[in-house]
Amino acid sequence: MGSLITDIDKISETARFLIISLPNEQLSKTSPFAIEKALQGIGGSPKSVKKLKSGDLLIETSSAIQTKSFLLAKTFLNNPVKITLHRTLNSSRGVISEPQLLHSPESEILDGLSSQSVIGVRRINIKRGASFIATKHIVLTFNTTQLPSHIKTGYLRCKVRPYIPNPIRCYNCQRFGHSKAACRGKQTCSRCASLDHIASDCTSIEPRCMNCDQPHPADSKDCPQWKKEKEIQELRTKKNISYFEAKNILFPQQSTNSYTKAVKSSGFQSTQTDEKITKVVVPPLVKLKPVTVRMNLVLSVHPSDEDMSTSEVDEELSPLKKSYEHKRHLQKSQMFP
């Protein structure tokens, strides 16, 4: 038991991402309020909590003490619980390039760097014809989420750069984002995109890419889709997030564009045409002479009229008043038939 506790103490120092699993998919049937209360009861509220497609919970702890509390838990929501380390999020990968390590085997490099949190070493080899040629570039896996800026290899001090993996392409359907083991698609030729044969049996003269429909094989690094996938891998590595999170950040409009294309292809039109609009014809207004207002009537006043009495003015205005009211009536009847 003492060695187990010691191992947990060591793991807890660096591990921050844990998977919580319950039998019979109990987590998917449980209230989020009950889950939050149960998490607080074990080690306090984690830094973040996400539900995975599998129904399990992915939690990010805020300290080594909190990680240890969850790793030691035996039950969760009155059920036996399985809490494990996330397979990739608790580690990081970097690249060093050192010519003096060119002839050192991977086992020797791992043994020499294990005290600096290195848990994996892989040399990058390039293929030339039927053989592989070793390079000075070495991929190091650290058991920490943050890469060191430098590392000591014997008496040498090497700069550590983030390792950006190439996009994952399925060797069965040639699509990106999953492996052959998880593929549900049909076998597709990587050279011409046909479904009736594989690349080794291909007799097509012109290549065609399954992902972008351009004249190159599916494994070409000139493929626009390959370049997009490389951007996703770079963001995923630098931000330590999942593939789908990185894809949604970089290309959030892809789903919207797909919907727009679907609407257009259906022939649906939402534009209103002129034929459907009721037209109202308004006659031109008659321009009247400017007048002085009296009792809501319009009047032109001349200097000679200043001495006229009110009754005399009314008598002179009577024909004008009738003519004005008649024109107004005609205009209203034409505007609103």
Residue 201 CA to its chain's centroid (Å): 38
Does 49 score more than 70 pLDDT? yes
Report pLDDT digits (tens) over 312-327. 445 555 555 556 566 6
State phi, psi for 219 to the nearest 5 degrees. -95, 10
Instruction: Count CB-CB contacts under 10 A for residue 232.
Output: 21
Give the residue-averaged pLDDT of 82-103.
93
Element (H, E) at 59: strand 57-60
Q: What is the pLDDT of residue 304?
A: 44
Q: What is the pLDDT of residue 266?
A: 45
Check: CB of residue 136 under 8 Å from CB of residue 124.
no
pLDDT category at 274 given cuts 50, 70, 90 is very low
CA nearest neighbour of 51 among 32, 23, 78, 75 = 32
Output the six-digit token pair for 247.
Answer: 């894809």
Least confident of 108-112, 202-206, 230-234, 281-285: 281-285
Q: What is the pLDDT of residue 237?
A: 86
Q: What is the pLDDT of residue 227?
A: 95
Q: Is the pTM of this model over 0.85?
A: no
* Residue scoring higher pLDDT (67 or 317): 67
Does 229 score more than 80 pLDDT? yes
* Residue scoring higher pLDDT (288 or 130): 130
Give the residue-averaged pLDDT of 228-245.
88
Give the residue-averaged pLDDT of 198-226.
94
Residue with tokens 């990185």: 246
Q: What is the pLDDT of residue 141?
A: 95
Does 258 score more than 80 pLDDT? no
Q: What is the pLDDT of residue 5?
A: 42
Q: What is the pLDDT of residue 272?
A: 43
The three-state DSSP-derived secondary structure of 226-266 is: HHHHHHHHHHHHHHCCCHHHHHHHHCCCHHHHHHHHHHHHC
Tell me what the pLDDT averaged over the chain comes to: 81
Q: What is the pLDDT of residue 244?
A: 83
Q: What is the pLDDT of residue 334?
A: 58
Report pLDDT digits (tens) over 114-143. 999 999 999 999 988 888 999 999 999 999
Does 52 score more than 50 pLDDT? yes
